[in-house]
A and B are shown apart, each in its own frame.
Chain A
Amino acid sequence: MKATRQRFDAFLFLGPAVVLMLAFFVAPIVVNILVAFSDMNQTVRFEEFPTTKQFNKLGKLDPEAFWGIELRGSFYRALALTASFVLLTLIIFNVSFALILALTTTAVPERMGAVFRAIWLLPRMSPSVVYALLWLWVVDSAERGLLNQVWLLFASEPLNLRLDHPMAVIVVANGLIGASLGMIIFTSAIRSIPEHLFNAARVDGAGPLSIVRHVILPALRWPISYITIYQALALLVSFEYIFLIMGPARSTMTMAMLSYTKTLAPGIGGGQYAYGASIALILIVVGIAVALLMWRLINMKSLLQRPRIEVN
């Protein structure tokens, strides 16, 4: 009787959360898998099922090729673009730049630091379309572009960054907005380091760089690991700024962009639901693989269990 009651209570308490998880996290993946192995198009009907037709568009089995699969050029390109977009944004901005922001804004007087952090948060607070529009104005290839207004003071030819350096544009645009998350997490981690530890280090002869290296960075191990995994996964599927700034340009057609343009983008070849779903499925698999790999590399388990800092 008691056991039944306990089971019922457990179900009662966990129920809503489980239902939400099933509805919003598990179900979409299941639907995505089903669609990926079908031939769904504009008519939104399951006709052929199951079929690997969609995956054949991405690559074909070839015993000669590396890993036994020969990828289609556009898909291979999407993979490569995704890898460079994710790695560059992650390493340069979401981790390193966020760390620099956190270190500098915690080093200056508190109120000034708060002002700077608030400024860095502004783009995250504004609608993404507004942020993208600002970027479009900044990198505008004509003379009215903000960057060109400055550039033309020193040079004669205007820059066309979207054409000549598309990857740089999307990395910087995503990075400047993405760094704010790391900045906040790192800032709070730095603030949780006991004041005595800084004082001890200063008395022990440590200069600013030595304090960063021996006191701050060790305390940031966990937040840095977390931000790295979280942002890597977020960037893998992120496409809104790429789409808003670059449109469906081939030069920045990452996996997420490819999946989006094949399905939901109106007027530029949308409606291939099954094709888009197959790309999304590969993204999901890549995401899980990346998460597991990083989990293992960073030894997240031990970080989660061990006390991160000693506070008396």
Chain B
Amino acid sequence: MAQIELKALQKAWDDAVAVQDMNLTIQDGEFVAILGPSGCGKSTTLLMLAGLYLPTGGDILFDGTRVNEVEARHRNVGIVFQSYALYPNMSVLQNILFPTRSQQTPDAEKRAREMAEMVQINQLLERRPSQLSGGQQQRVALARALIKRPNLLLLDEPLSNLDATLRLTMRAEIRRITRDLGVTTILVTHDQLEATTMADRVVCMNAGRIEQIGRAEDLYLRPDTLFVAGFIGSPPMNLISLPHPLIEVPSIARTFGLRPEALRPAETGLPAQVTHFEPMGREVLTTVQTPLGLLRFLEAGTQPRWQVGDSLHLTHARDDAILFDGTGARIPNATALMTEQGYA
């Protein structure tokens, strides 16, 4: 277990910068998710942490010790890859034992069996990876990553290859195991649900830079940047370019954002016409055409209240609006309101 620090970390290739000026401190035992779209530098960061890539700038510190040049095999990290990367020629038990080969761990096999029990694969120890399902393979990969009690556990899109139900189970399972072991964990993912449900803190990355670090609700309710606002949340936030005659805002605001659940039908307000609706179980997502363009709003209920072509009015609370300036940064403590006729 260790405290991990990234200081002005940078990774550049001849023609491209993958990660730049990355500063992040992860507490001992903390579970942090690095979230971002593909190509944002999150996997590069993970490979640098694992010791598989050499940073081109900045430092990586494990418990205050600089480990930039320490090879992967001497870093004592565990890693679970998206493809699980199990050794196809070895049995499950041999796979789990593999990391202990170089360490001469006493009772390695006993530990391997404990690990297998923890991830609930003790019945499968003699099988080959090709004889396992995706979920089982992932449990093996997790046991293999944890057997040498790593300083740091790295999870690279570990749930992407699983079906939806299994993903739900494994999310809880991985969280339980990392909590029980108290291991510092970094999860890399493009799936916001994975990040927000599992992690203590989420690091949102875009184009090689950190956009925001915070708890899931911080990112959702108070996105620091336009990118975070658009990336976090499903269905996504309604974003409208400013200035617009129908929106009353401070003059520096350039983008107006409103979560779909903040919009609600009312007697008066922005006129809208229903173009599409999607029942989503507990809620119905309705898309409407308005003078501001297409907007989406969420209503509780299993039955759709509107039909395509229905006319209605939409309103929202002034405080729910989120405003961004020309650089894409959020304007703190700003409020705004969509009006019916225009404020001017």
Residues of A within 8 A of B (CB): 194, 196-197, 199-207, 210, 214-215, 218-219, 221, 307, 309-312
Q: What is the bound-complex CA distance between A204 and B96, given in angstroms?
A: 10
Complex partner residue of B83 from A210, A214, A307, A312, CB under 8 angstroms: A312
Residues of A close to B90: CB separation below 8 A: 214
The answer to whether B99 touches A204, judged by C-beta atoms less than 8 angstroms apart, is: yes
Tell me the complex Cα distance, A207–B130, Å: 25
Residue of A nearest to B147 (CB): A204
Contacts of B72 in A (CB 8 A): 199, 202-203
Contact between A210 and B87, CB atoms less than 8 A apart: no
Contacting residue for A194 out of B50, B85, B98, CB 8 A: B85
A215 B87 Cβ-Cβ under 8 A = yes
The answer to the question of B102 belonging to the interface, with a C-beta cut-off of 8 Å to chain A, is yes
A120 to B285, CA, bound (A): 64
B89-A218 in contact (CB<8A)? yes
Surface stretch bound by A, among B73-81, B218-226, B300-308, B332-340: B73-81
CB–CB B52/A196 < 8 A:
no
Q: Which of A202, A207, A214, A312 contacts B87 (CB 8 A)?
A: A214
Q: Does B129 contact A (CB under 8 A)?
A: yes
Given contacts A199-B52, A199-B79, contact A206 B88 (CB under 8 A): no
> Considering the complex of A and B, which 4 residue pairs feature the smallest CB-CB distances, nearest first?
A218-B89, A196-B85, A205-B102, A200-B85
Which residue, of A202, A205, A207, has the highest number of chain B Cβ atoms within 10 A? A205
CB-CB under 8 A from A206, the residues of chain B are 73, 98, 101-102
Tell me whether A202 and B52 are in contact in the complex, defined as CB-CB below 8 angstroms, given that A197-B85, A210-B101 are known contacts.
yes
**Cα–Cα, bound, A205→B78 (Å):** 10
**What is the CB-to-nearest-CB distance from A67 to chain B, in angstroms, rounded to a whole number?**
40
Residue B161 lies at the interface, judged by CB distance under 8 Å to chain A? yes
A-B contact pairs, 7 of them (CB 8 A): A202-B73, A203-B77, A203-B99, A218-B88, A221-B89, A307-B130, A312-B83
In chain B, positions 57-116 with a C-beta closer than 8 Å to chain A are: 71-75, 77-79, 81-90, 98-99, 101-103
In the complex, which residues of chain A have a beta carbon less than 8 angstroms from the beta carbon of B50?
199, 203
Chain A residues within an 8 Å CB radius of B79:
199-200, 203
A205 near B99 with CB under 8 A, answer yes
Please report the C-alpha to C-alpha distance between residue A49 and residue B14 in the assembled complex, in whole angstroms.
76
A310 to B73, CA, bound (A): 23
